[in-house]
Amino acid sequence: MIDVLLVAVAEVPAETLAAAARNFEGMNVRLRLASFAGTDGLPDSPLLAERRSFAQSSAALGRKLAASAAKAPAPKRAWTHAQRDAWLLRHARKSKVLVALDAQAVYTVWHLARVNTSAHACYGVAAAVRAVTDRRERPGYYTRTDFVNALPSPKAAVRAAASRTRRLPKAVARRAIGPRVLRTDPGARAWRMAVGAPGLPENVRFRLAKRVGDGLRKANRPSGAVLTFNAAAEQTREPRHRADLLRTAAQLELKRGQVPARLDDAVAAESACADLSWRKGNGKAAAASLARGMELAFHRVLHFDRTESPMAGDPGAYLAALHSGAAFTAMTAASGRAEPAAAPPSDRPLRLLFVTRKNANFLTEIRDRYEDRADVEVRSLDITNEPPLDALVKSPARMAAFRLGADPAFGHTVEDHLRPHLDWADTVFIDWCTGPAVLFTAVDPGTTRIVVRLHSFETFSVWPFLTDFSRVDDVVFVGAHLRDLTVAAVPALRGSGSAPALHVIPNAMDLGRYDRPKSDDARFTVGLTGISAVAKDPRWALAVLKLLRASDDRYRLFLIGADVDGSLSLAARAYAAAYEKEVAALESSGAARRLGQLSDVPAALAGIGVIMSSSVRESFHCGFVEGAASGAVPVSRNWPFFADKPNGAHTLFPAEWLAATPQEAADRILALTGTEEVWRAAASEAAAHARSAWDWPVVANAFDALLLSPSTLLSPSTSPSAEGGESTEIRAFQP
């Protein structure tokens, strides 16, 4: 005779109990029913030896426990009553099969399985029938206790033999972790509690958490999966398992466009694993952990697809878990160079090599200038034209392993392909501090001078940490605020000694081509250029337009450039959807017009009387400066990312160009476009300032000083933000 205990928390329909009894006919079983919803009206059955109804009486629990139970979910509330009933506990110990008839009873049956570790614990009658059949066919096996329960039993798992314990997640997944269970609140909650229960072996908890978390994702409960992984991580001490659980939870949240609740813990856990591997001498494993940690810390959802970023506050505090790690410190350690860079040659032309990877948009004026000079010989290298090198750029983990001395083949490949270029060049100018900068600093450059220009994207990426700045002579930033942010984030750029010299030189722009007559109706046309990135925040400009039209409906907004790209992540998609809804409504009334990407931007700017920068952050914002140079009145948002920093839009542009809120921007536009005379005077003054400060003939002097006469560069102004290293800031040069 096999005793089977049926447990129900929800009301059991009469037909369900009758069907259950029929399933057990002829199997020599004795059924007992424990119901927390009453047994009145249930049919009799010869197999049903006893049935007991448990009234969930608050008086039976005592005042404090009753108050706690009242706030608990139904599964936990039922167990609070069940664990105090002698009849239920007695029969739970005697029964060979424990069955949860509904999802809310799973939690109680799981606890009963801890009382009787030799019993099958099942969810549903079908699973119970299979358990009874198995026991009848293998009676000798079940005199032992090293079997697998259908619901997780920590005590049973602790006692199980290793070979059987390894099969626990598969058995659990097969019998109880199904979408039907996990789609219900009680079922999902019960499994989260099971995964986070104390006493489970580390390996069992890890595999079980993976099974439950994956099941919750398939059941379209990603939030539940995140809670499951984090709950399991709380009880996990094994570093690799804990890091995997926290990282998986963080990745799920990032995929949904959210900032992970435990992002810092996930990055710190990967850093701890890297340190552990590094101390054991396993550089490749340490590099893989660092790559995973940096991938989380610099995920695009955190920095590019929202109007906020955790780097906006204190970058050093945000990256503290990485900065303090032994493996990270080793990876970013200075390798140095055998010889200092040589002075420019005096007996032949300077050999200047420009290096890019696809994007050379900001090099046109610079490269053209030196190609036209007799005292400079120019070559260009696009890394995409060197397939072996381009393949290396796509693997930050390999780059990290090389920096840790664990991938010498990486260095050999770079040496073979770059040494001819380094032997030829006197100066290498690498535009963008991305993969090419990592490659050129992976080998000793000899006496060749290395110059790297960093724009903005790189500061929010892994690339500066993989670049060996002890082999870089000069780093060029396009804005002082960007320099300050990058220096705070990248320890290798701080201090004297091996740190490179830091310079601030604006982007090269030919502003003369924007000097065209304005049409008369341009006064009421506001322009915004470059809107594809969320950080451009064109919705701020739409808010300004609405305020303008509340005063005068002649104002309209022209949007130049590709629309906000919502395909990059759910966070970007959410912003793009909100933007689309607002701009479409304004388009329908004729207030806004999307011009898209244009081949002749100067011609379009001739019809724009006010140029706006609505961004939350910029490195320089060329389109805004070009608009000012065209004779449009400039109105820039005081980029919030840098508004409270020593440098930002408030130090780059004249104070009268700035506005902190849409209302301030609207007030400035209304004041400066009130009459034709006021508008043209303000526009002329702005154009004169833009050309005198940022036109290419002016900025070209700074590049000549940098590339041709580096000894004269430290003259215009010196900034303290490099903390001991040389830093120059080029604001305006006279030709």
| CATH number of the domain enclosing 104 | 3.40.50
Residue 225 placed within a domain? no
Q: What is the pLDDT of residue 480?
A: 96
Q: What is the pLDDT of residue 515?
A: 93
Residues 566 and 423 in one domain: no
**In this structure, what are the phi and psi dihedrals at residue 527, rounded to the nearest 5 degrees?**
-115, 145
Q: Which domain holds residue 638?
A: 511-694
Residues 357 and 500 in one domain: yes
Residues 483 and 579 in one domain: no
- If phi > 0 it is left, if psi is from -120 to 50 it is alpha, else beta; for residue 28 that is left
Residue 172 placed within a domain? no
Q: What is the pLDDT of residue 165?
A: 38
Residue 177 placed within a domain? no
Last residue of a domain, one of 504, 530, 545: 504
Q: Is 51 exposed, middle or buried (0-12, 13-18, 19+ CB in 10 A)?
A: middle
Residues 6 and 118 in one domain: yes
Residues 670 and 571 in one domain: yes
Last residue of a domain, one of 504, 526, 552: 504
Q: What is the pLDDT of residue 247?
A: 98
Residue 248 placed within a domain? no
Q: Which residues lie below 8 Å from residue 613, measured CB to CB, with a gap of 6+?
A: 528, 621, 624, 634, 635, 636, 637, 639, 649
Q: What is the pLDDT of residue 497?
A: 78
Residue 606 placed within a domain? yes
Residues 28 and 99 in one domain: yes
- Rounded-to-integer distance, Cα 251 and Cα 244, Å: 10
Q: What is the pLDDT of residue 255?
A: 95
Using the structure block, give the residue that is written with the tokens 């101390």: 279
278 in Cβ contact with 508 (< 8 Å): no
Residues 596 and 641 in one domain: yes
Q: What is the pLDDT of residue 48?
A: 82
Q: What is the pLDDT of residue 161?
A: 31
Residues 429 and 552 in one domain: no
Query: Strands 350-356 and 120-123, how do they pair?
Result: unpaired
Q: What is the pLDDT of residue 66?
A: 57
Residue 176 placed within a domain? no
Whichever domain contains 435, its CATH number is 3.40.50.2000
Residues 479 and 563 in one domain: no
Domains contained in the chain, number: 3
Helix (H) or strand (E) holding 522: none
Residue 173 placed within a domain? no
Q: What is the DSSP letter of 176?
A: T
Q: What is the pLDDT of residue 41?
A: 58
Residues 626 and 492 in one domain: no
H helices present in 72-141, as ranges = 74-82, 86-94, 106-115, 125-137
Instruction: Going from the first residue of the chain to its last (735 residues), give the mean pLDDT of each consecutive group of 10, the final group possibly shorter.
Output: 89 79 86 79 74 62 55 77 84 91 87 85 87 83 44 40 41 55 73 80 88 87 92 94 97 96 97 98 97 98 96 94 97 95 95 96 96 96 95 94 96 96 98 97 97 96 97 96 97 87 96 92 95 96 98 96 93 96 96 94 96 96 96 97 96 96 98 95 97 96 92 44 48 33
Residue 196 placed within a domain? no
Residues 451 and 546 in one domain: no
Residues 561 and 664 in one domain: yes
128 in Cβ contact with 99 (< 8 Å): yes
Last residue of a domain, one of 99, 116, 144: 144
